[in-house]
């Protein structure tokens, strides 16, 4: 994250009268511009703002750093854990918890001072570290009454899948017990039928999954400001699918992205 989410301060928009450049924050002017774009968009076109957030540091992140990327991918990632801890459906470390709480404090400042629009919908990967991160990030914020924190779990929003046990999700009943405030999308299965012990998703397969996710969300959710709590690889894939430049988030990082979505008749 950077100051003001990296939004550049501009006072040259043709639709802003001079006195509003000081009375409105840059985020308020940006929100108004997005509303204008949607109001004037041709049929089948919709503009959305995605707040893409990566989970805080997980047990698996620490283990990968300890063993090195090459050895992690070759051997250790397929194990359930080691003497220092379990990384199957990895949980946050204490550092990861603090990172998520720091994002919560950042959001509080952004909403109160910069008037950044809060998300209208909150989506999360089903992996434990993301559910933890989403709760720590968005609980306790001063949100508008029409934008409550009612998170929804999306199966396809998970990390690159297969082989690595850190990316194998827990059962639905276990997740519901640990995170009772989350809703699970229709068709969410009790057991993880997507994870494979023998095949790791390729970038092409991951990109196809992210495209399917976006088609699903954009096709069903008419909201403009959406929050996605996900993973490094998944967010890189989302950015590729959206045609954005490459950008790799650190643990606990957040990047807002303006998207022009256009319906295509099949």
Residues catalogued as catalytic: 55, 159
> Which residues have CB under 8 Å from 29's CB, separation 6+?
10, 13, 16, 20, 21
List residues bridging with 85 in a β-sheet: 82
* Distance from C-alpha of 50 to C-alpha of 259, rounded to nearest angstrom: 7
DSSP string over 119-160:
PSEEEE-SSHHHHHHHHHHHTT----TTS----EE-GGGS-S
Q: Is the dihedral of CA 96, 98, 99, 104 positive or negative?
A: positive
Exposed (0-12), middle (13-18) or buried (19+): which is 232, by Cβ within 10 Å? Answer: middle
* Distance from C-alpha of 229 to C-alpha of 239, rounded to nearest angstrom: 14
> Which residues have CB under 8 Å from 132's CB, separation 6+?
55, 56, 91, 92, 96, 97, 100
């Amino acid at each position: 994250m950077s100051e003001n989410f990296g939004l550049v301060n501009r006072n040259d928009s043709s639709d802003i009268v001079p006195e509003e450049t000081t009375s409105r924050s840059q985020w308020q002017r940006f929100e108004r511009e997005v509303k204008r774009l949607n109001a004037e968009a041709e049929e089948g076109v919709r503009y959305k703002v995605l707040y893409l957030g990566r989970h805080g540091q997980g047990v698996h992140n620490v283990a990968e750093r300890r063993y090195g990327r090459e050895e992690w991918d070759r051997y250790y990632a397929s194990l359930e854990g080691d003497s220092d801890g379990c990384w199957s459906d990895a949980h946050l470390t204490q550092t990861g918890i603090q990172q998520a709480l720091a994002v919560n404090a950042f959001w509080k400042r952004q909403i109160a001072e910069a008037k950044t629009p809060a998300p209208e919908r909150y989506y999360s990967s089903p992996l434990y570290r993301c559910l933890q991160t989403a709760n720590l990030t968005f609980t306790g914020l001063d949100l508008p009454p029409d934008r409550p924190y009612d998170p929804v779990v999306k199966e396809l929003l998970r990390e690159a899948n297969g082989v690595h046990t850190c990316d194998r999700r827990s059962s639905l009943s276990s997740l519901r017990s640990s995170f009772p405030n989350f809703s699970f999308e229709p068709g969410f299965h009790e057991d993880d039928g997507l994870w494979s012990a023998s095949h790791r998703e390729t970038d092409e397969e991951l990109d196809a999954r992210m495209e399917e996710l976006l088609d699903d969300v954009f096709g069903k959710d008419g909201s403009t400001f959406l929050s996605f709590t996900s993973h490094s690889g998944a967010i890189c894939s989302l950015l590729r699918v959206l045609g954005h430049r490459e950008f790799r988030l650190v643990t606990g990082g957040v990047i807002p992205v303006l998207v022009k979505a256009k319906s295509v008749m099949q």
